[in-house]
Structure 1
Amino acid sequence: MLILAYARNLQIRAACETFRRSHDYGYKLSLISCNSLLSGLVKENETGEMEYVYKEMVKRRILPNLTTFNIYINGLCKAGKLNKAEDVIEDIKAWGFSPNVVTYNTLIHGHCKKGSAGKMYRADAILKEMLANKISPNERSFNSLIGGFFTYNSLINGLSNNGKLDEAIALWDKMDDLGLKPNIVTHNVLINGLCKRKMTWEARKLFDDIAKQGLVPNAITFNTLIDAFCKDGMVEEAFAMHKSMLEEGIIPNVSTYNTLIAGLCRNQNGRAAKDLLNEMLTYGLKAYVIAYNILIDGCCKDNESSKAEKLLGEMLNVGVKTITGGKW
């Protein structure tokens, strides 16, 4: 029970020391205590200690359960030890258990986070293995894979990206075939991927699909599209998104305003950018150094040094520091 208490309070060193001494004194530890210790070590990224505890459990004949294996796989995936994580599947079977949706999701997510071509194909192979074993994937399975395909795509420029984009959309269709409804996270991942590919209007069409699916867009959805429109020089469309955001009752955040201010400054509309800064303050949002830097930079590019100087003075008056970590 002492290890359990230490682990739940993330006093990991004390928990590990108790784990070691318990063997010296001949105490038999409970599986719940050991699983809690493993989980705490994963949270603290103590991979070496986690592997030690797992091996010691086997030596001390503390019988694991599927939760034990899933925690261990998660820790190995977090540490990038993907091959070792997959080997644990054999341990699971040797102990008479079968991998479940959590096991496969953890492995899929681990491979997708790496983002390389080989890892993405391996993640897709794990999904196929999952289906072959009659384990139904859930939303998290597909969200990881769809997000992962866009991570891989970002490594390649130009038209070669389209192949993987098709695969991501195919996964979307596969979700529907299995009766899984894409959620707002799935939509956000695809919208972000399309925007990165400069396929802004396609992303907008997907945005329009959100309401049809009975879902509600969130700040991430709007910010992604606002950023894409601003970067493409389509400031009017960005402000239309901003208006829709307010109509949905979603208060824009600092990121929203910084993006819009930058878009206006690129279009040499400093006055409107300054009005946005004031609007930002009326919503109780604090203007950080980045917002002022964007405005000051815009004034300098427009040869309006007096306005830049005035903004700098305002910045100091409201208590925004000009120096962060020794840099402007």
Structure 2
Amino acid sequence: MKLVSKYRFFSSSFSSSSSLIPLCNNTPKPIINPLYNLLPQTQNPNQIVDIICSTLNHRDHPFLLPNLGHEVKSLIPHLGYREISRVLLRFQSDASRALAFFTWVKSDLGKKPNVSNYCLLLHILAWSKKFPLAMRFLCELIELKSKNEEEDVFSVLVSATDECNWDPVVFDLVVKGYLKLGLVEDGFRVFRKVIDSGFSVSVVTCNHLLNGLLKLELMESCWQVYNVMCRVGIYPNTYTFNILTNVFCKDSNFGEVNEFLEKMEEEGFEPDLVTYNTLVSSYCRRGRLKEAFYLYKIMYRRRVVPDLVTYTSLIKGLCKDGRVREAHQTFHRMIDRGSKPDCIAYNTLIYAYCKEGMMQQAKKLLHEMLGNSVVPDRFTCKIIVEGFVREGRLLAAVNLVVELRRLKVNIPFEVCEFLIESLCREGKPFAAKHLLERIIEEEGHEAKPETYNNLIESLSRCDAIEDALVLKGKLKKKNQVLDVKTYGALIGCFCRIGRNREAESLMTEMLDFEVKPDSFICEVLVNGYCKEMEFAKAENLLSFFAMEFRIIDTESYNSLVKAICERGSGYSKVLELQERMQRLGFVPNSLTCKYLIQVLEQ
């Protein structure tokens, strides 16, 4: 597909033959009643415009109108849209008084001017070069107009040019107004109307429009805007082509890049650093590294010196392609040619090394980073700690965190929590506990309840029950409730070390906090009582779990059967137990039968 196919005119549906909509004003003309002239001037509705204008003309400070409302109090009901327009037209050469009157109508009287009133004010402000004020009222009008689709702002503005002085820049402002409010597609429609009606817009406004359309990924509309710029003589600038470069990268075949660059040169613009960086970055994102490096060489030939952005894009592209060593060589080339790497450049290479499991190289780069006074950020710390953990080098990860903290590097607390959870998972709770205490003591951070739960579980699995209970007490002081998994770990620990009463107390505490036990807790409690030969309590627990929580744990039941059989209590007692358990829903399985057969063989 040829690049020229992208540069085409608006379709015939947008042609300049579109007619203008006449000035919308549905307010009927007032009926002039000659009897009104018999009234005093201040009470004559026919004189309301003259009275207001006379009062405004005699005000030294037109923005201060405290008495105007009092002077025309009886006439205010006769102040309609047409009268407002007439007053504005009288002051079209005096923007301050026109604005004072408009503000008085809106604020003091609480009347809502219509689109025609707003458009007259916009023309007056634009004619007086008060562009910021014009933009403010234009945005206000656009927002009001969105609630009334019957009237078109652009058409009313055009019609108003027959009545007052006007500056064509107002039509440029209209397009900008829609863009400023984020109404990009509406702005594009107004842009087409402005051009089709023979008016023009500035290249700056065109650039804003192109940028907005690009963000919405309306590529076809971008090329239409550029095409119209060329047709009506709106000369693009460097910013225009840099925006179009982004459009080109998202929308085009990369084989057309040379044609695009030639097009820029034909228009009198040399591709600059931004242009090349946009193209190089796009090539790298799409895995077209050969073309990216070709452009990199072209930059030198055209005396455009690659910068940090160029090199970071190339490094990222090589890393994404798994060519980490080449990426590192490019990194060194960047330094040799005078570009100082920033945190993003270092992170790109460190992440690639961590992904490949090359942790020593990653750590070396981190030290190099610190030596060059580049401060590691949250991402740096996260990827390198996660990399060590993924490689099973927990101790190295802990030592790295300690080292970085000693060097005053801010380690994000979530990274420390991840490391603590990893240590717990690997059965190293004391190292995790020490790290947590050190962080809390030195930095005042507070760990999440999940971190405490993980630590309590890990300590319990290592039978460090006293340490686990201390942490449990800390959570209790903070009104935090343990989860069922943590309760299970504590109960299991108590049962393993023969402290069944305390295990049962913990289960009672669970129920008080409305934490529902699971089958694991049932199993460890039953095993604990079986170990102590307290078969009646074990059976009561099985019954309790079955009736209260519908937990029919066959493994716990088999543990009880096995313990009774091993004690030699007799076949009859085992059968009686089986009959009681069957009433609760326990069904014997092959293992149950095996234990029963062993009893018969004794």
Which TM-score band applies after superposition, normalised by the shorter structure?
0.7 to 0.9
- What is the match of residue 239 of structure 2? 67
Corresponding position of 2:346: 187
Distance 1:273-1:46 versus aligned 2 partners, 3 A rule: farther
Residue 181 to residue 277, structure 1, CA distance change in 2 (3 Å)? same
1:209-224 residue pairs with structure 2 within 5 A?
209-224=368-383
Q: Look up the equivalent residue of 2:182 and give its one-letter code.
A: L
The alpha-carbon distance between structure 1 residues 264 and 73, as it changes in their structure 2 partners (threshold 3 A), is same
In structure 2, distance between residues paired with 1:25 and 1:286: 64
The answer to whether the Cα contact below 8 Å between 2:324 and 2:349 also exists between their aligned partners in 1 is: no
Pair 1:243-2:402 in alignment: yes
| 2:548 alignment partner in structure 1 | none
Structure-1 separation of matches of 2:259 and 2:388: 45
Q: Where do residues 1-328 of structure 1 align in structure 2 (5 Å cutoff)?
A: 1-79=173-251, 82-84=254-256, 87-114=259-286, 116=287, 119-153=288-322, 164-253=323-412, 255-257=414-416, 259-269=418-428, 283=445, 295=454, 308=485, 310=487
- Supply the distance in 1 between the matched residues of 2:382 and 2:325 (Cα, whole angstroms): 24
Structure 1 contact 66–92 (Cα < 8 Å) conserved: no
What secondary structure does 1:23 align onto?
helix
Partner amino acid, structure 2, of 1:308: K
Q: Could you tell me whether the CA contact under 8 Å between 1:253 and 1:285 is conserved in 2? A: no
Decide whether the 8 Å contact of 2:454 with 2:486 is kept in 1. Answer: no
Q: Which amino acid aligns with 2:192?
A: R
8 Å CA contact 1:112–1:145 kept in 2: the answer is yes
Give the superposition deviation at 1:97.
1.1
**Number of the residue aligned with 1:160:** none
| Shift in CA distance, 107/286, structure 1 to aligned 2, threshold 3 Å | farther
- When structure 1 is superposed on structure 2, of 260-269 and 223-232 the one drifting more is 260-269
Q: Distance in 2 between matches of 1:236 and 1:303?
A: 19
**CA spacing shift, 1:34–1:234, aligned 2, 3 Å:** same
Distance 1:76 1:309, change over 3 A: farther
Q: Do the aligned partners of residues 3 and 295 (structure 1) sit closer, same or farther apart at CA in structure 2, a change above 3 Å counting?
A: farther
- AA at the equivalent of 1:22: V
Deviation of 1:124 after TM superposition, in Å, equals 0.9
Task: Tell me, yes or no, if the aligned pair for 2:185 and 2:213 is still in contact at 8 Å.
Answer: no
**CA displacement at 1:147 relative to structure 2:** 0.8
Counterpart secondary structure, 2:321? helix
The one-letter amino acid of 2:289's match is M
Report deviation, 1:284.
5.8
**Structure 1 position 144, deviation (Å):** 0.7
Q: Distance in 2 between matches of 1:95 and 1:45?
A: 25
Cα distance in 1 for partners of 2:257, 2:487 equals 58
Superposed CA RMSD in Å reads: 3.4
CA 1:199–1:3 in 2, change beyond 3 Å: closer, same or farther? Answer: same
Q: Using the alignment, how far apart are the partners of 2:424 and 2:281 within structure 1?
A: 39
Equivalent residue letter for 1:213: N
Rounded to whole Å, the distance in 1 between the matches of 2:418 and 2:252 is: 34
| Stretches of structure 1 lacking an aligned partner (at least 5 in a row) | 154-163, 318-328
Q: Distance in 2 between matches of 1:77 and 1:244?
A: 44
Q: Answer yes or no: is the 8 Å Cα contact 1:188–1:221 preserved in 2.
A: yes
Tell me, what secondary structure is at the counterpart of 1:135?
A: coil
Shift of 1:266: 4.0
C-alpha distance in 1 between matches for 2:312 and 2:388: 24
**In 2, distance between residues paired with 1:86 and 1:276?**
57
Aligned counterparts of 2:176 and 2:221: Cα–Cα separation in 1: 16
Q: Please, which runs of 5 or more residues in structure 2 have no aligned partner? A: 1-172, 464-481, 489-508, 514-602
RCO comparison, higher one (Cα < 8 Å, 6+)? 1
Distance in 2 separating the partners of 1:249 and 1:45? 44
Measure, in 2, the Cα distance between the counterparts of 1:127 and 1:258: 43
1:143-186 CA distances to partner (integer Å, 9 max, x unpaired)?
11101100111xxxxxxxxxx32321221122123211122221
User: In the comparison of the two structures, how many residue pairs are matched?
Assistant: 296
> AA paired with 2:238?
L
Q: What's the offset of the Cα at 1:277? A: 7.8
TM-score, normalized by length of structure 2? 0.44
Instruction: Determine the C-alpha separation between the residues in 2 that align with 1:49 and 1:286.
Output: 50
> What secondary structure is seen at the aligned counterpart in 1 of 2:341?
coil
The structure whose Rg is larger is: 2
User: Is the 1:145–1:168 contact (alpha carbons within 8 Å) kept by the matching residues of 2?
Assistant: yes
| 8 A Cα contact 2:319 2:352, kept in partner | yes
Distance 1:211 1:270, change over 3 A: closer
Q: For residues 173-214 of structure 1, what are the alpha-carbon distances to aligned partners after superposition, in whole Å with 9 as ceiling and x for unaligned?
A: 221232111222211111111111211101111111112223
SS in 2 for 1:220: helix
Q: Is the 8 A contact 2:280 2:310 kept in 1?
A: yes
Q: How far off its partner does 1:274 sit? A: 7.5
Change in 2 beyond 3 A, CA 1:124/1:22: same
8 Å CA contact 2:210–2:222 kept in 1: the answer is yes
- The structural deviation recorded for 1:259 is 3.4
CA distance in 2, matches of 1:14, 1:286: 48
In 2, Cα distance between equivalents of 1:121 and 1:218: 32
Offset of residue 243 of structure 1: 2.5
User: How far does residue 80 in structure 1 lie from its aligned partner after superposition?
Assistant: 6.8
**Structure 1: how far apart are the matches of 2:413 and 2:390?**
17
